[in-house]
Amino acid sequence: MSGRRKAGRGALFIVAMLFATSGALRLGSGIGTAMANAEADPEEPVATEPAVCESPVALSDALKQREERLAVREASLQDRLAALALADQAVTDRMVQLETMEAKLAATLALADGAAEADVERLTKVYQAMKPKDAAKLFETMSPEFAAGFLGRMPPESAAAILSGMSAEAAYGVSVIVAGRNANVPKD
């Protein structure tokens, strides 16, 4: 009986090997198709049947269909490129407009700054031309920061004459502000 079992096992082994070989062949034949599908363009439909044509007419038709699909894709890409070109032109035009507006704004700000500076210079000359006692009374009513701005622009003799006419507290407050204006400027 043990001889029959060995023979039965051998037959089972052979049948199992035949099944394994059949599965490997089927698996192997599908690998080529799977690899072709993986390398194909995702937008292009993949043929599930082998590319074997029965006649030259069928091959010609298949090539014409592929050419038509490629023409449609090319037209789509051309439309995209045209849309991108239009968008790029719009962005470029907008940048030019913004640069022009920025230049105009800078010119307007320069005029305003120049006009403000001219007004401050003119007012400083007015205070400097006043009698020191009258200017001192006026400076005492100003905020110390505002008064310090004018006194810092005047020649030392004119500023000293106005400070001497102010009360000690007001003169001290303005002097501290004038002295400390540039205290935090970097030295290096």
Give tens-digit pLDDT for 25-84.
Answer: 666 655 555 555 555 555 555 455 555 556 888 888 899 999 999 999 999 999 999 999
Q: How far is CA 158 from the centre of its chain?
A: 54
- What is the reported pLDDT for 29? 59
Decide if 73 contacts 43 (C-beta within 8 A).
yes
- What is the reported pLDDT for 12? 75
Alpha-carbon gap, residue 125 to 105, rounded angstroms: 30
Give the DSSP H/E element, type plus range, for residue 94.
Answer: helix 56-129
Alpha-carbon gap, residue 78 to 85, rounded angstroms: 10
- What is the reported pLDDT for 182? 73
Q: How many residues does the chain have?
A: 188
| Confidence band of 3 (pLDDT split at 50, 70, 90) | low
Report residue 141 as tokens: 């009513």
Mean pLDDT of 142-156: 91
Which residue, among 151, 169, 168, has the nearest Cα to 160 in the 3D structure?
151
Tally of CB atoms within 10 A around 166: 23
Report residue 47 as tokens: 């043929």
Alpha-carbon gap, residue 173 to 175, rounded angstroms: 5
- What is the reported pLDDT for 132? 92
Report residue 79 as tokens: 């439309």
Alpha-carbon gap, residue 3 to 14, rounded angstroms: 17
Mean pLDDT of 86-107: 93
Burial tier of 154 (Cβ tally within 10 Å: 0-12, 13-18, 19+): middle
For residue 98, is pLDDT > 80? Answer: yes
